[in-house]
Amino acid sequence: MREIKTIGVMTSGGDCAGLNAVIRAVTTAAVERYGWKVYGIQDGSMGLISRPLRFQELSPANLGNTLREGGTFLGTTNKGDPFNFPMPDGSFRDLSGEFAEGARMLGLDALVVVGGDGSMRILSRLCQQAGLGMVGVPKTIDNDVHGTEYAVGFATSINVVTEALDRLQPTAASHHRVMILEVMGRDAGHIAINAGIAGGADVVLVPEIPYTLDGVAGKIRSVLARGRTHALVVVAEGVKTAEGTNATISHVGGEQRYGGIGHYLTQKIADLTGAETRVTILGHVQRGGTPSTRDRILASAFGTHAVDLVAERRFHHMVGWQNRGVVAVPLEKVTIGACSLDPNDTLVRTARSLGVYVGEEPAADAGDSSGL
Ligand code: F6P
């Protein structure tokens, strides 16, 4: 068995707060504890695919203030699958061979990948094909990675959303308005439900739970009827319109992203309730900024444990947080898709008990009526 001497670390997918803290933890543990060389791979898999290779040697001495800094100083990418990569001439190419060759050129014995569920899926395939041992570290503000209760970046993002609600509430109260806040999360409602509870929202809409406009309007009317002259609504970007379509935005290069459901809802609530409404779309503010205490701790625990897994050669695993500690999760259990919010989740029930409208409640007799 080849001795581990050199490892790579890369960030892949959308950025979030706490990525630099993971890179710092991986580098410090690998260099100080195991005496390995560490290469930071730039811009996700592109660093190994590009020629010349894009990388930098990392050492605890050149990490600076990374524990405290948002973003990722290595850069990242959340577009272009290397197995089917869009070329400038409109064709698609399989660049997995270039990835494997790049890893060989750097003499990598293992790779730590900090990414979400999509990155785990693609990078685990790339690494397997390259014969390179991989250990994953989960990160995403969406918190939709299987095998871990928390992903790096989530805690900071829900702090940001909660603070936004704290800032919206006084202006809503002053003007007697209904404020609609659209938050990220892709197809999952974890950000919306967590921050909606913490920020005292009256309505929280998530992609996983069907809602009706009458239900939303009814909740707003009952808030106003009780004498409160304002209300707060949180809507996750992946929520569909009542007609069943997603609101999306096309970006340069043809990238489609969710966005705009807040505007739709703002108009509908105004029409149905007569209330004055305003919309805020929080966007990438949720991804940037200084990592929270929780994210720094999680990033540090994940980064150091990922290095331990490399030392133990427990490749093809991701570190995860379960029951107050770090565990190793086989990547097969992670790459099954995004982990959505369970409609019966503790926090959904918490919100309902607090009187929040979270979409339609399942009928009391909603069991299996097939008789089988
Ligand atoms: O997955 C993280 C995320 O921020 C989602 O919540 C959001 O839908 C998406 O990325 C936005 O992607 P982009 O940075 O490409 O606009």
Q: What is the pLDDT of residues 290-306, one digit of tens each?
A: 999 999 999 999 999 99
The ligand 1 site (C-beta within 6 Å) comprises 14, 78, 140-142, 184-186, 237, 257-258, 287
Report the separation in Å between the CA atom of 144 and the middle of ligand 1, taken as the mean of its atom positions.
12
* Residue 142 among the catalytic residues: yes
Q: What is the pLDDT of residues 308-325, one digit of tens each?
A: 999 999 999 999 999 999
Q: From residue 85, give the alpha-carbon distance in Å to each of 80, 91, 121, 196, 249.
A: 5, 8, 15, 38, 22
Sheet of 133-138: strand order equals 55-58, 37-41, 6-11, 110-115, 133-138, 317-322, 325-330
Average pLDDT over residues 142-171: 98
pLDDT of residue 372: 41
CA distance 66 to 182: 30
208 in Cβ contact with 360 (< 8 Å): no
Q: From the candidates 142, 144, 187, 345, give the one annotated as an active-site residue.
A: 142
Q: What is the pLDDT of residues 14-44, one digit of tens each?
A: 999 999 999 999 999 999 999 999 999 999 9
Lowest mean pLDDT segment, chosen from 203-207, 249-253, 287-291: 249-253
Instruction: Report the DSSP beta bridge partners of residue 329.
Output: 318
Mean pLDDT of all residues in the chain?
96
Q: What is the pLDDT of residues 325-341, one digit of tens each?
A: 999 999 999 999 999 99
pLDDT of residue 73: 98
Looking at the CA of residue 191, tell me the nearest atom of ligand 1.
Answer: 6
Report the separation in Å between the CA atom of 333 and the middle of ligand 1, taken as the mean of its atom positions.
23
CA distance 191 to 155: 9
Residue 365 has pLDDT above 70, yes or no: no
76 pLDDT tier (thresholds 50, 70, 90): very high
pTM (2 d.p.): 0.96
Distance of CA 302 to the CA centre of its chain: 16
C-beta atoms surrounding 289 within 10 Å: 16
